[in-house]
Chains A and B, each alone.
Chain A
Amino acid sequence: MHTNNKNRGMRTFLLASLLIPFSGALGAWSVPQELSDKVDALNKAQRSFITSGAAITVIPESQLKHELATREPESLKKLMDDLMTVAEQFGYSPERDMGAAPLNLTSDRFHWRVVTPPALREMKREPGPFSVHRYLYPTSGVPTFGGAKVAIWPEDLVAGNVDVAIVGVPGNVSSGVRDAARAPNEMRALNTIATPDLQSLVKPFEVLSVVDYGDFAVDQMSIELSIGHITAMVAETAGTGAIPMLVGGDTSMLYPGVKGIASERGAGSFGLLHFSAHPDTERNEAHTISDRQAVFRLLDEGIVKGSDTIQVGLRGPDVDASTLQWLRDKGVRYHTMAEIRQRGFEAVIERVRTEVDKGPDAYFVSIDVSALAPAEMIAAGRAEANGLSIEQVRMAIRHVCAAKDIVGFEITDLAPMMDLSRLSVMHANAVLNACLGGIAVRRAGLDPDYVHPLALDHGQR
């Protein structure tokens, strides 16, 4: 479980460095000339604490300068001792801290997410996708993704020669607004998937065999306990030849989604195109998995290669120099909103297209809906000001899904509760449909950029 602790740039910074002398791990902090007298008056440990840079991980640099400049010597010594006491307690101690949350080992449902074995299934039916409707042209009834037929077991996918299995992964545990668990059903309830691809006039549900594959079970008290099952189910689904299109769930669900594909297709055998405001490459968290760590773990465990990973739309609280440097060091091609503002969206998306075209043959496409501007996606679990427009995201995703072999798709962190108008759900469906349309265009043998003449021009003189 701790494989994510490798190659961690920051990890030695405190505990190790606090074992005097404070050296190396952190960037040294050079004491301004005018403050050096104040620092010299401190004891060796305190001086080392300041000059190693350890102090400014606990107290903002500007405040440190202020305190050095203004405090009396005794008061300054006390402050430094207090800060060092705090810093010493940052790391884990097995005598003091809970290192693992205990579980109820006598539980009769320790794993309740057990798929019903064939011999215990009451109803006998021929395998294959089936309709949940009474009418040939239903307009309402049991909601499914795009009104698709339902499949329950992998043998249904095989028998129906299913191309695309849309499946909910309603994980709700991570840091955003806790409503992502409702996203799959809300996206089913607003029946706006299955619309034709406007550019090519290809109808995805006519070209492709698409099913609603239900939801994969999650443990809403633990991402950790959900991962194994979801990974196995995604792998099993992909193993039938169907493309899993996953509907989260919060973004922690991206990790088992991609991992499941990798366990079927091979780690490092496909690229990851990830639209999100958040890089999700937190490297020093006290947990082993969360939305903020999903991409970190995928890269750290080599499930996808950094050089095959593209991130688009980055902004917000987790985008800082150390994270971008880490991404750069990993070979990730990242595109921040700063780049988009500087160079224009068209230029950046052209760059992304080129990167995808030069990249691996196969891609996993994922979008955390926070990539979109809140004006068009207010129901993002971790909404972030500014962002991409629905048309920009839709066209970029459509292109990749039309131009490349898509091994999987995932949309995450839609929190429907936050948008009473349901516009966000409509846009989430539009994003999913953009990829579905792209896959259909490719399957129909058309060029990704093909435009149907009827769609382009009315042709009237």
Chain B
Amino acid sequence: MTKLTTTIRTALFLTTALTAPLAWADDVPDMPEHVVGDAAYPFDTVDPREEKKEAIELPDSVAPKLELLTDEEIEFLKSGDARRFAGPAKATVEALEKRTPEEVKAWVNAMQHVMSEHRYEEGRDLPNIPFNTESTEFNAWRAERPRSMDPEREDGPIALGRYDGRGGPPTFGGHPLALTKEDLIAGEVDVAILGAPLNMGSGWRDSGSQATTDLRLFGRRMGSLDQYVQVNPRDVLNIVDYGDVAIDNNSTERSMRLVREKVREIAQTGAIPVIIGGDHSLEYPNVAALADVYGKEKVSVIHFDSHYDAWWGGPHLIDHGVPVYRLINEGHVRAADYIQVGLRSAGPDESGFKWMREQGMRYHTMAEVEKRGWDAVLDRVVAEASEEGRKIHISFDIDVLDPAFMPATGTPVPGGLDMRESITIVRRLCAESNVVSFDLVEFHPALDPTYKTALNSAFIVKACLTGLAMNKEGKTAEHYLSPLASEHALDDHYGDQQQYLDATKAEEEAAKSKDENREDDE
């Protein structure tokens, strides 16, 4: 460490020692980021994709069947609401013909009953889910431990082990631990890996906060050499484990603010947040936090997932199926700045695809992969992501992979990517485009006693860390691979032997002059 940084660290250490630790974020942006009190959701909730079914005309022939109906009931029977039950005009007429007027009345009343039950009604329904605000421990779950409770220490990453930082409690990739923003600043941290063990959304096959824990246990490989490109992220980047963010696993909505604040805190220091989930609801606070720091509509998102996660219209404003819609709805990201990769679940249907196309959202389904081949889609995605050097958040749902590689996920869908494809695309994106944030979500370890999913998940994170390190080293050429590692060059089998020998030599010389420059600086 240079003298200068030591001085800065000391200064920061003293500053922190003199100011009380802040238990709550004090730098809240202007946009309403979350509801306080019992306020309503401040954004529009009507989904433009919901097609309003047209009213129908009924032929005079069925008039006798309608004789017991009031005008209001006849209007309802013609309305779009009735279409959900009675079907189009032809089916409605058939249904009327086989019923007596009494049965018709009961039939229409039943439809009206169901529709009225389905919809929120003021006075009858609560507009929200109240918490127990009288609890004296209302905020205990997110109370931060004052620094003064522990012995004084310098700011900066903390190596937990006694053997060159190793041998302590498990951290993500074996990287040192940071607990505060001051630690990130003092350590000049490039990448902060944050656990967010939210598991409410993907109720199928789930297991508490085990996901972030298990990725610490089995994720040592997040910090090692990548043979393909001969880059070790640990040597290039200052990477820390930033602990877990507090989660209320009885309320996703309530957890959103904490995640957003913590991700924002990381991004504000200039470090790249890597968020380990947790279910895919997390994409919402993660990207919203980036919008807080970099500005609205300034960040693009690459959404790796078998699901498009832009569903909407249920009673809940956040779960693991809606983060994309909510981000767009609140103006954090433009739909046109979304790139979707790996879609293959039951939805979206045609209206969903039409909506994506109209919005300018670029989607790359497994149907496209089936048609064009993976390599073509890979190049297309990387090219799209690198347009205009836009800031990129990668949201990586491990169910984009085939369940053969990732059985321990909430909503697996067969027919997905394999590890070789996934590592390559993630490494390339993190190297060749301007990735400012990354999340890996939907890991549920209890489903997989073999730990395969944990290990593979760690390798996905490693692929991004490697790419980020390549980016910092300037190895951003299209699909860079080490000329030394990718070709023995002992013969001219492919007819390009000399090219590899030259490239290897050029790299050696570049590395040498870089080392010399570094010595000059010091």
A residues lining the B interface (CB < 8 Å): 1-2, 4-5, 8, 10-15, 59, 63, 75, 78-79, 81-83, 85-86, 89-92, 94-112, 114, 116-120, 172-179, 181, 219-225, 284-288, 290, 417-418, 420
Contacts and interface: CB of A to CB of B under 8 A. Distances in A.
B130 to A, nearest CB: 4
B120 A101 contact: no
B113 interface: yes
B276 to A, nearest CB: 18
B164 interface: no
Contacts of B35: 98, 100-102
A175 B249 contact: yes
Interface in B120-171: 120, 125-141, 143-149
**Nearest 9 pairs between A and B by C-beta?**
A82-B146, A178-B206, A117-B110, A119-B110, A100-B128, A101-B253, A94-B37, A102-B41, A92-B133
Contact of A224 (B41, B107, B129, B254): B129
Given A107-B313, A173-B250, A290-B250, A181 B129 contact: no
A323 B253 CA distance: 29
Interface string B175-196: 0000000000000000000000
Interface string B306-348: 0000001111110100000000000000000000000000000
Contacts of B206: 177-179
A14 B143 CA distance: 14
Given A114-B114, A114-B118, A117-B114, A97 B23 contact: no
Contact of B119 (A92, A108, A172, A219): A108
A222 B313 CA distance: 16
B107 A120 contact: yes
Contacts of B141: 286
Given A102-B317, A111-B125, A119-B103, A178 B207 contact: yes
Contacts of A12: 136
21 contacts: A4-B132, A78-B148, A79-B148, A82-B147, A89-B23, A89-B139, A90-B137, A95-B36, A97-B133, A98-B37, A99-B36, A103-B120, A104-B41, A104-B314, A118-B106, A119-B103, A119-B110, A173-B250, A181-B204, A286-B139, A417-B447
B34 interface: yes
Contacts of A221: 200-201, 252, 315-316, 319
A13 B50 CA distance: 50
B118 A96 contact: no
B20 A106 contact: no
Given A104-B313, A110-B120, A284-B135, A96 B250 contact: no
Given A90-B143, A94-B36, A120-B114, A100 B313 contact: no
B46 interface: yes
A116 B110 CA distance: 8
A174 B130 CA distance: 16
Contacts of B295: none
B446 A417 contact: yes
Given A101-B254, A221-B252, A2 B134 contact: yes
Contacts of A172: 203
A284 B449 CA distance: 36
B133 A102 contact: no
A105 to B, nearest CB: 5
A98 B34 contact: yes
B509 interface: no
Interface in B90-119: 103, 106-107, 109-111, 113-114, 117-119
Nearest to B125: A110
Given A111-B125, A178-B203, 20 more contacts: A91-B135, A92-B134, A94-B36, A98-B36, A100-B35, A100-B37, A100-B128, A101-B129, A101-B317, A102-B317, A103-B316, A104-B312, A105-B127, A109-B118, A117-B110, A118-B106, A119-B107, A119-B109, A173-B203, A225-B129
Contacts of B317: 101-104
B85 interface: yes
Given A11-B136, A110-B315, A179 B205 contact: yes
Interface of B: 20-21, 23-24, 34-41, 45-46, 50, 85, 103, 106-107, 109-111, 113-114, 117-120, 125-141, 143-149, 199-201, 203-208, 248-254, 257, 312-317, 319, 446-447, 449
A92 B135 contact: yes
Contacts of A104: 41, 45, 312-317
A341 to B, nearest CB: 29
A103 B129 contact: yes
A337 B50 CA distance: 56
B136 A284 contact: yes
Nearest to A174: B250
Contact of A177 (B41, B128, B129, B208): B208
Given A86-B146, A108-B313, A5 B132 contact: yes
Nearest to B410: A178
Given A89-B23, A103-B127, A13 B110 contact: no
A431 B42 CA distance: 49
B316 A222 contact: yes
A254 to B, nearest CB: 16
A110 B130 contact: no
B36 A96 contact: yes
Nearest to A103: B315
Contact of A82 (B20, B126, B254): B20
A14 B136 contact: yes
Nearest to B20: A82
Contacts of A178: 199-200, 203, 206-208
A13 B138 CA distance: 13
Nearest to A117: B110
B136 A82 contact: no
A368 to B, nearest CB: 17
Contact of B134 (A5, A82, A117, A223): A5
A118 B205 CA distance: 35
Given A96-B24, A104-B314, A112-B118, A86 B136 contact: no
Contact of A288 (B20, B132, B146): B132
A173 B200 contact: yes
Nearest to A81: B20
Given A225-B129, A286-B135, A417-B446, A108 B50 contact: yes
Contacts of A111: 117-119, 125, 315
Between A91, A100, A176, A225, the greatest number of chain B beta carbons within 10 A of the residue's beta carbon is seen for: A100
Contacts of A102: 35, 39-41, 127-128, 253, 317
A183 to B, nearest CB: 13
A99 B130 CA distance: 6
Contacts of B148: 75, 78-79, 82
B146 A107 contact: no
Contacts of A286: 131-133, 135, 137-141, 248
Contacts of A225: 129, 315
Given A99-B38, A102-B39, A286-B131, A175 B250 contact: yes
Contacts of B139: 89-92, 97, 286
Nearest to B115: A108
A2 B207 contact: no
Contacts of B204: 181
B280 to A, nearest CB: 14
Contact of A1 (B21, B126, B449): B126
A5 B134 CA distance: 7
Nearest to A87: B143
Contacts of A177: 206-208, 446
Contacts of A99: 36-38, 130-131, 133
Contacts of B119: 107-108, 110-111
A178 B199 CA distance: 8
A100 B131 contact: yes
Given A82-B21, A98-B36, A109 B126 contact: no
A85 B129 CA distance: 28
A10 B136 CA distance: 8
Contacts of B114: 114, 116-117, 120
